Structure 1
Amino acid sequence: MESVNKLVKFESQVAGHDNILCLTTNDLMVFKPSSQQEREFYEASQQHEEFMDWIPECYGTLRSSTENEKELLDKGQDVAPVLSDNITDIPTDQLANLDDILFLCVCVCHLCLENILHGFTRPCIMDIKLGYKIYEDTADEAKRNKMIKNAQGTTIESLGLRISGMKIFDSVERHYTSYTKQYGRERTKDNFLDGLLSYFYPTYNLNNESNNNKWILEHFIDTVSDIQGFVEEHAELQLVGCSLLLVYEGDASAAQAAWKRMLEEDRQDDANIDKPVNDNDGVSGGADDAADADDDADAIQKDMEETGPKLCDIRLIDFGRSRWQPGRTEQEQSFIKALDNLMGLLDQVIEQSP
């Protein structure tokens, strides 16, 4: 089928098993192979609205085809992909053509996730593995020993953190530099900070007025602090083997445009706060309610399709070993400590920045 050729490898993946896919028709979503446990984690997360702000939005899942459906695909016959109804339906206008994702139906079950890089021109990406504890309580002894051995000598032992991968755009030389998992494994407690400095300051130009890295760093620290507070208050949330994905705009012109846009939005918000309240505001009924609902839907759709520019983003990702456990009464303190370590290191980046 010709449409299958539109499904390609997601080139911006910096860590993991290099098996995330995307469509050539748009960059709004990525398709990630997933376990049942990860799918259940995303489904359960919907019950916690605040937590949803820190993970990619999940639009649904695609299940594997039956043997009969695979035979039909091999013969070039049309087969409608089956979407899971246990998570949010995928917006149909974001798929361009459902035939584009038929190929996924003959693979393992995939999560259809928000592409965090959507809206960036030259995204600078860092994946940081979180937590001293890297295996689940249910893991057998052989698996535990294997994972412990893999973490030996890395900053997982000393900091509860490890750089899993980086991709940085040099706005002066105009090229990308990639850092693999091996780079992260070679970091030590003493030089981990150097890796962060390389990520946030790949080049330094005194005349670069678009350098907003201090604000970005402070935003990242505030977000990590908020995540830490939520985790401390929700003992039922067990995060194991997850990562933080950090992204900021590496293109100087695009970053400046995003910065100006943020300032303008702040000015508009301030103006709306000072605006007198109309006595009729918020009072509607009948057809007006329907019109308001349509307007809300249009606004949501516009936000989803908006192309940016974005200055930065930070999300928790990779929940194959994480779960929500109702009845769990104590939080893993070593995970809290790992977040503390990360915030301390980001503070040092600010102090040592050019």
Structure 2
Amino acid sequence: MFDNLVADFERPCALDIKLCRYYHGQCEDEHKRKKLEQKSNNSTSLSLGFRICGMQVYHPETGKLEKYNKYFGMSINDNQAVEVLRTFFGNSSNTNLHNISNTVRNIHTAILNQTDFVFLSISLFFFYDCKKTDVTPSIQKTDIDDQNVQAGFKVRLIDFEKAIASSDNKIHQLPQRIKDNINYGMVNLANIIDSFVIEK
């Protein structure tokens, strides 16, 4: 659990992305297991390696608030998911978008370089205050999952309890695709954000 990260924001924009390509749990309930597998196979989790679990974004020119929940995220295809991301990141400058994608890659590298755990799934939480006028890029030397990628724009690594200690014997029972569960999505997400820079 953590504090309300947007408690002091006037117009909080937030995006929760689940990175997990394949269902990985050990579930005794056969019906529930199949349902969870279907969720992975029939959403952008399988095709993109990530799924949008929730988002809200303000449009500064109109003040209109758009919201998307996890059910929306499970129902959309790849192209629709990219459009939703484009909406969220649309208020950022080219430089800031590049910093954001670099932060995603830095988090990915940090996960790959550590040897204590195998992460079966994680979530990335992006958030900023639409009301903030100072959007000068401001990379700070701090924890990798708490870097300011622009003034008021942050990325946090959250929801990473789906991990197995490297010393756990269960590791040897996992297929390689499960051990690599988040890699595909991390690369895809960073590349998609970079594609918005090229478009501008």
TM-score w.r.t. structure 1 length? 0.46
Report Cα offsets for 1:159-201 as digits up to 9, x if no partner. 1111111100111111311112232123212332211111122
CA distance in 1, matches of 2:163, 2:24: 10
Identify unmatched segments of 5+ residues in structure 2. 141-149
Conserved 8 A contact 2:127-2:153: yes
CA distance in 1, matches of 2:121, 2:181: 13
* Gap change, CA 1:114 and 1:324, over 3 Å in 2: farther
Report Cα offsets for 1:85-105 as digits up to 9, x if no partner. xxxxxxxxxxxxxxxxxxxxx
CA distance in 2, matches of 1:334, 1:319: 13
Match of 1:150 in 2: 39
**Deviation, structure 1 residue 218:** 1.7
2:58 is matched with which residue: 151, 166, 169? Answer: 169
**Deviation, structure 1 residue 121:** 2.8
CA distance in 2, matches of 1:161, 1:320: 17
Q: Does 1:259 align with 2:136?
A: yes
CA distance in 1, matches of 2:151, 2:10: 8
CA distance in 1, matches of 2:164, 2:157: 13
Structure number, greater radius of gyration: 1
Report Cα offsets for 1:285-324 as digits up to 9, x if no partner. xxxxxxxxxxxxxxxxxxxxxxxx9420101112343344
The one-letter amino acid of 1:250's match is: C
CA distance in 2, matches of 1:350, 1:140: 45
1:313 is matched with which residue: 134, 154, 159? Answer: 154
SS in structure 2 at match of 1:255: coil
The one-letter amino acid of 1:348's match is: S
The one-letter amino acid of 2:158's match is: I
Q: Does 1:120 align with 2:6?
A: no
Match of 2:99 in 1: 219
**Deviation, structure 1 residue 118:** 4.4
The one-letter amino acid of 1:130's match is: L
TM-score w.r.t. structure 2 length? 0.77
**Deviation, structure 1 residue 119:** 4.5
* Gap change, CA 1:227 and 1:350, over 3 Å in 2: same
CA distance in 2, matches of 1:324, 1:115: 29
SS in structure 2 at match of 1:114: coil
Identify unmatched segments of 5+ residues in structure 1. 1-110, 202-210, 267-308
Conserved 8 A contact 1:125-1:247: yes
SS in structure 1 at match of 2:104: helix
CA distance in 2, matches of 1:219, 1:121: 24
Match of 1:343 in 2: 190
Report Cα offsets for 1:197-232 as digits up to 9, x if no partner. 11122xxxxxxxxx5432332222111111111222
CA distance in 2, matches of 1:339, 1:346: 11
Within 5 A, what are the aligned runs for 1:184-333?
184-201=73-90, 212-251=92-131, 254-256=132-134, 259=136, 262=138, 310-326=151-167, 332-333=179-180
Aligned residues: 184
The percent of aligned pairs where both chains have the same amino acid is: 22
CA distance in 2, matches of 1:224, 1:323: 22
Conserved 8 A contact 2:121-2:181: no
Within 5 A, what are the aligned runs for 1:173-184?
173-184=62-73
Conserved 8 A contact 1:244-1:314: yes
The root-mean-square deviation of aligned C-alpha atoms, in Å, is 2.8
Match of 1:279 in 2: none
Structure that is richer in strand per residue: 2
SS in structure 2 at match of 1:182: helix
